[in-house]
Chain A
């Protein structure tokens, strides 16, 4: 009898944990595209921090529209395939990023499909155009 109660408690706890996990996934979704608006837009500015190929996503920082933006690129292998390298694009260079801005307008973050620098286009997500 005691054993079946223990089992029931475990099952319920596991189910609760699973539900909490699933509901948590929609919290702020840093990964994937869920946390960003559907509409694609351009953002032009100057580089504050060069390309970083650190996981889980390659990034750079750009000053644009009076704010410092976190430009989120693809995971490093995919960004490398698009032609990006660690430390690329010097500070002060003009770039245009094309992508989806964060749903929270106070969060200056854009998930990028392509980056244009010096006339060259880096298509990190060519299939999302």
Chain B
């Protein structure tokens, strides 16, 4: 773990983050916040719909919009996050919130993978779902909300350790 962080810190990206300009970190940090806001903003709508809110709005209508926006926000957060981490990577070793954040992200991604393979998800636009299928989607939505809330809370707390 330490070797990996030392390598990241010594990388071109690490040097760029530290030495290019006093504003670099601030701007990349802004990108990270915007990425998270975009991800969570779209995700909360999607997950609550999966959990049964706003039934009058067809599920496919919401997923068509929210899923790509969430994916974009996630990508932005990952790209900027790598930069922020590389700045002083070795200082994060032993930070307990890190060990909450990344497993939560991992679990969130596994949840996305599982959800996308459910027949209930695949057939969401083509037919009426059974109560059991709706329950599956609600479960995935709840799990998703829990994972990302945990990841964001732990991520913010990294700075306060």
* A80 at the B interface (CB under 8 A): yes
The complex places the Cα of A80 from the Cα of B130 at a distance, in Å, of: 62
Name 11 interchain pairs, CB-CB below 8 A, sorted by A: A13-B149, A21-B153, A24-B160, A27-B161, A30-B159, A54-B18, A55-B29, A55-B84, A55-B87, A56-B159, A76-B22
| Cβ–Cβ < 8 Å partners of B17 in chain A | 54-55
The answer to whether the Cβ of B122 comes within 8 Å of any Cβ in the partner chain is no
B19 at the A interface (CB under 8 A):
yes
Chain A interface SS verdict (over half): helix
Q: How many residues of B contact A (CB 8 A)?
A: 29
Chain A positions near chain B (C-beta within 8 angstroms): 2-3, 6-7, 9-10, 13-14, 17, 20-21, 24-25, 27-31, 52-56, 58, 75-77, 79-80, 86
Interface residue stretch chosen among B48-56, B59-67, B68-76, B110-118: B48-56
**B52 x A6 contact (CB < 8 A):** yes
- A21 with B51: in contact, given A52-B18, A56-B25, A80-B22 (CB under 8 Å)? no
Residues of B near any A CB (own CB < 8 A)? 17-19, 22-26, 29, 48, 51-53, 55, 84, 87-88, 138, 142, 145-146, 149-150, 153, 156-157, 159-161
B26 touching A55, Cβ below 8 Å:
yes
Are B160 and A77 interface neighbours, CB within 8 A? no
Task: Determine the chain A residues whose CB is within 8 A of the CB of B142 once the complex forms.
Answer: 6, 9-10
Q: Give the docked Cα–Cα distance between A29 and B51 (Å).
A: 36
Are A55 and B160 also in contact (CB < 8 A) when A2-B52, A10-B142, A13-B146 are?
no
A20 touches B52 (CB 8 A): no
CA distance A52 to B25 in the complex (A): 13
Residues of B within 8 A of A79 (CB): 22
Indicate whether A76 sits within 8 Å of B25 (C-beta atoms), given known contacts A3-B53, A13-B149, A54-B18: yes
Q: How far is the CA of A6 from the CA of B52 in the complex (A)?
A: 8
Q: A2-B52, A10-B142, A13-B146 are in contact. Are A77 and B18 (CB under 8 A)?
A: no
A3, closest chain B residue (CB): B52
Q: Which A residue sits closest to B134, measured CB to CB?
A: A2
